[in-house]
């Protein structure tokens, strides 16, 4: 979603800001802009479209500036709604949503002020400008304005007449970093990570004042505070696509190492440290969104089978409104790649309020979720750039399966070694070479169904989400046995069906669904470890994946589905790394 950068220092700001914005491009956006301060005057450059549209400004003068990539919420994606937003002497970039913007705007209009955009963010510029006019103290002005805001915000603010950038954070991530070249602000560590710099993560209610060579942090009452420094290393995973044409393809290839690193991390301390809580756990609640929600469903299948603990999986966006019943000794697991998903954070917060211990399964170690959770089980997928989650899904499965295995062991329900999975993932990748050849049937499809039973159904749900988001083909992940209760009406020869069959005990049942769709003319594609099933006349093409315990099979069966989505995206001319309308990290509700 929206991204923020800020810089003040010895270098010219424009190239620093543009470099930072390029690193934030993966989050998804539809317009971008920068503002530069030079000789006390502000210059704004904004464009609809890519950051590269701003490149002409690289030579512009000014040693302080702010920049933004915008993913439209309030107002269309166009130049006047792009950030920075300016009013009077004040210019700012904003992530988040100001919930009382309409009421505040009415007050500004009543004072005779005019607006040049449809954004909620411009309202904030109006408020700060009004406050700044009172005493010329930007930090105090931002704080006074912030007290009138409800909603979420990460702000970086410049004002004519000062040589400083003021930042504020409320429920939207923001870091400041200090290096030899100057001080930086960003909504995402990725934009400021460089060897030798130290970052400070702002907490909700914090303010920061960046002046030459210095970043001062303040709490909500403007009392100076110290936040724990985070040493930054140069970002390694974002340093390019290597030999791959797209990040999505590279990240699928990185699945084995993501799984290996996550399992190793879970062994060395990640879970052992939580023995007391795990021994007491009687119920498991999982809160997550999108792909992470699907990893939660896979965990339900595994944990209920091997540890015999009841698991409820909640869409985080529904959790708050479901008035969840959280019995004593419920362990709530919040799963998130970014650790910044607004709904997942809100659900985790509510679970804590209800007295549950919250375990964050999170890929970004300094994220809001990592700091909110009582304990963290880190997924070690490395930075994931493509919007479509791939290696992070497998890493979530690794962490969650390790948790299920630990719970089973603590309950005397047996041991479930997972150490073979990195090699099995590698073997699966090698078995997928023919998936690209399936694509013509998918690229021409009207609709695609992914079928499975038990844990296979959850892999099917994830396969369907992947295909939809990167290739824009409508489709559904469906319980194989449920198809004939209505949805079979959609199936014809232009409806390819992918069947996932990894559980021998359920194979015949899912094959019944295969017979049903075949009889309606659908081409059938099979993902299975059972070679004999692939010989059935109903099967158009198949991928034979390695055998593993059926409840853990989504770890392997999802890999051909990720590749299918990738290749189909290419065939329909879509950019698999940047699907339209989507953002990598969904920081608004």
Candidate residues 117, 274, 317, 336; the one interacting with ligand AGP per rule CB under 6 A: 336
What Rg do the C-alpha atoms of the chain give, in angstroms?
25
Q: Let me know: does 551 contact 505? Beta carbons within 8 Å.
A: no
The whole-angstrom distance between residue 192's C-alpha and the CA centroid of its chain comes to 18
Which candidate, 269, 292, 276, 539, places its Cα nearest to that of 400?
292
428 binds ligand AGP (CB under 6 A): no
Candidate residues 289, 331, 507, 522; the one interacting with ligand AGP per rule CB under 6 A: 289
Candidate residues 69, 281, 338, 379; the one interacting with ligand AGP per rule CB under 6 A: 338
Please report how close the Cβ of residue 352 comes to ligand AGP at its closest, in angstroms.
17
Candidate residues 22, 119, 291, 557; the one interacting with ligand AGP per rule CB under 6 A: 291
Q: Which is nearer to ligand AGP, 352 or 409 (CB)?
A: 352
The catalytic position among 89, 391, 426, 584 is 584
Q: Let me know: does 385 contact 238? Beta carbons within 8 Å.
A: yes
Please report how close the Cβ of residue 579 comes to ligand AGP at its closest, in angstroms.
9
User: Is 2 a catalytic site residue?
Assistant: yes
295 binds ligand AGP (CB under 6 A): no
User: Is 584 a catalytic site residue?
Assistant: yes
Q: Is the bond preceding residue 84 a cis peptide, omega within 30 degrees?
A: yes
| DSSP-assigned beta bridge partners for residue 248 | none
Q: Let me know: does 35 contact 8? Beta carbons within 8 Å.
A: no
The whole-angstrom distance between residue 234's C-alpha and the CA centroid of its chain comes to 21
Candidate residues 57, 388, 404, 467; the one interacting with ligand AGP per rule CB under 6 A: 388
Please report how close the Cβ of residue 281 comes to ligand AGP at its closest, in angstroms.
23
Candidate residues 344, 379, 495, 587; the one interacting with ligand AGP per rule CB under 6 A: 344
292 binds ligand AGP (CB under 6 A): yes
Please report how close the Cβ of residue 14 comes to ligand AGP at its closest, in angstroms.
31
Is residue 124 within a helix (H) or strand (E), and if so which, with residue range? helix 120-135
Please report how close the Cβ of residue 43 comes to ligand AGP at its closest, in angstroms.
35
Q: Which is nearer to ligand AGP, 42 or 287 (CB)?
A: 287
Number of residues near ligand AGP (by CB under 6 A): 15
Q: Which is nearer to ligand AGP, 79 or 476 (CB)?
A: 476
Torsion angles phi and psi, residue 256, rounded to 5 = -60, -40
List the x/- string, 526-565, binding to ligand AGP by CB under 6 A.
Answer: ----------------------------------------
Q: What is the DSSP letter of 413?
A: S
d(CA 301, CA 453): 11
The whole-angstrom distance between residue 138's C-alpha and the CA centroid of its chain comes to 33
Please report how close the Cβ of residue 426 comes to ligand AGP at its closest, in angstroms.
22
Options 177-185, 319-327, 374-382, 387-395: segment touching ligand AGP (CB under 6 A): 387-395
Q: Which is nearer to ligand AGP, 122 or 469 (CB)?
A: 469
**Other beta carbons less than 10 A from residue 309's beta carbon:** 19
Q: Which is nearer to ligand AGP, 104 or 288 (CB)?
A: 288
Q: Which is nearer to ligand AGP, 291 or 378 (CB)?
A: 291
Which candidate, 217, 123, 163, places its Cα nearest to that of 40?
163
Options 33-41, 153-161, 330-338, 514-522: segment touching ligand AGP (CB under 6 A): 330-338
Q: Which is nearer to ligand AGP, 53 or 349 (CB)?
A: 349
First-to-last CA distance in the chain? 12
Paired tokens of 464: 């369907």
Q: Which is nearer to ligand AGP, 533 or 586 (CB)?
A: 586
Which candidate, 252, 261, 554, 282, places its Cα nearest to that of 401?
554
Candidate residues 28, 290, 296, 560; the one interacting with ligand AGP per rule CB under 6 A: 290
Residues in the chain: 589
Q: Let me know: does 561 contact 11? Beta carbons within 8 Å.
A: no
251 binds ligand AGP (CB under 6 A): no
Paired tokens of 3: 């991204």
Please report how close the Cβ of residue 384 comes to ligand AGP at its closest, in angstroms.
8
Q: Which is nearer to ligand AGP, 187 or 291 (CB)?
A: 291
Paired tokens of 276: 């007391």
**Helix 120-135 / helix 101-110 crossing angle, nearest 10 deg:** 50
d(CA 358, CA 375): 7
d(CA 135, CA 140): 9
586 binds ligand AGP (CB under 6 A): yes
**Other beta carbons less than 10 A from residue 320's beta carbon:** 17
Options 162-170, 252-260, 287-295, 352-360: segment touching ligand AGP (CB under 6 A): 287-295
Please report how close the Cβ of residue 268 comes to ligand AGP at its closest, in angstroms.
23
Residue 189: CA count within 13 A, CB half-sphere: 31
Q: Let me know: does 361 contact 322? Beta carbons within 8 Å.
A: no
Interface residues toward ligand AGP, by CB under 6 A: 289-292, 336-338, 341, 344, 387-389, 469, 585-586
Catalytic residues: 2, 584
């Amino acid at each position: 979603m929206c991204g923020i950068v800020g810089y003040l220092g010895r270098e010219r700001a424009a190239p620093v800001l543009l470099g930072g914005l390029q690193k934030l491009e993966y989050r998804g956006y539809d317009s971008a802009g920068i503002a530069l301060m030079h000789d006390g005057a502000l210059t704004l450059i904004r464009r609809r479209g890519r950051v590269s549209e701003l490149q002409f400004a690289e030579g512009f003068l000014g040693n302080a500036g702010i920049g933004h990539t915008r993913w439209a919420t309030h107002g269309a994606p166009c130049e006047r709604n792009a950030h920075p937003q300016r009013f009077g002497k004040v210019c700012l970039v904003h992530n988040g949503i100001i919930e009382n913007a309409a009421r505040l705007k009415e007050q500004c209009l009543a004072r005779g002020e005019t607006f040049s955009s449809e954004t909620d963010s411009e309202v904030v510029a109006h408020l700060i400008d009004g406050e700044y006019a009172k005493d010329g103290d930007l930090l105090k002005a931002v704080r006074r304005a912030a007290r009138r805001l409800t909603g979420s915000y990460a702000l970086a603010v410049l004002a004519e007449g000062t040589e400083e950038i003021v930042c504020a954070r409320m429920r939207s991530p923001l870091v400041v970093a200090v290096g030899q070249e100057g001080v930086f602000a960003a909504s995402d560590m990725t934009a400021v990570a460089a060897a030798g710099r130290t970052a400070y993560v702002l907490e909700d209610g914090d303010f920061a004042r960046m002046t030459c060579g210095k970043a001062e942090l303040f709490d909500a009452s403007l009392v100076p505070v110290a936040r724990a420094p985070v040493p930054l290393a140069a970002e390694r995973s974002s340093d390019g696509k290597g030999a791959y044409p797209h990040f999505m393809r590279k990240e699928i290839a990185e699945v084995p190492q993501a799984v290996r690193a996550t399992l190793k991390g879970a062994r060395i301390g990640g879970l052992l440290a939580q023995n007391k809580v795990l021994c007491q756990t009687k119920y498991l609640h999982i809160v997550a969104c999108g792909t992470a929600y699907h990893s939660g469903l896979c965990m339900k299948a595994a944990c209920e089978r091997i540890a015999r603990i009841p698991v409820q999986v909640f869409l985080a966006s529904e959790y708050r409104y479901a008035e969840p019943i959280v019995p004593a000794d419920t362990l709530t697991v919040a799963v998130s790649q970014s650790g910044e998903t607004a709904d997942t954070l809100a659900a985790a917060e509510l679970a804590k309020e209800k007295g549950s211990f919250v375990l964050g399964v999170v890929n970004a170690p300094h994220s809001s979720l990592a700091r909110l959770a009582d304990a963290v089980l880190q997924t070690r997928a490395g930075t994931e750039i493509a919007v479509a989650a791939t290696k992070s899904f497998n890493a979530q499965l690794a962490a969650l399966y390790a948790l299920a295995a630990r719970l089973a062991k603590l309950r005397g329900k047996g041991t479930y070694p997972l150490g073979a999975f990195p090699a099995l993932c590698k073997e699966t990748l090698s078995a997928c070479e023919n998936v690209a050849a399936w694509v013509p049937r998918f690229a021409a499809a009207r609709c695609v169904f992914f079928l499975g039973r038990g844990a296979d159904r959850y892999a099917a749900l994830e396969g369907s989400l992947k295909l939809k988001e990167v290739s824009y083909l409508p489709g559904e992940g469906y319980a194989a046995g449920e198809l004939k209760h209505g949805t079979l009406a959609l199936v014809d020869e232009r409806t390819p069906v992918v069947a996932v069959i990894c559980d021998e005990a359920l194979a015949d049942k899912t094959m019944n669904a295969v017979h049903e769709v075949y009889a309606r003319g659908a081409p059938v594609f099979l993902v299975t470890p059972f070679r004999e099933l692939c010989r059935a006349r109903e099967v158009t093409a198949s991928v034979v994946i390695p055998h593993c315990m059926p409840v853990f099979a989504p770890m392997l069966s999802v890999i051909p589905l990720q590749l299918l989505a990738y290749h189909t995206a290419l065939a329909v001319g879509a950019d698999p790394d940047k699907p339209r309308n989507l953002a990598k990290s969904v920081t608004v509700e």
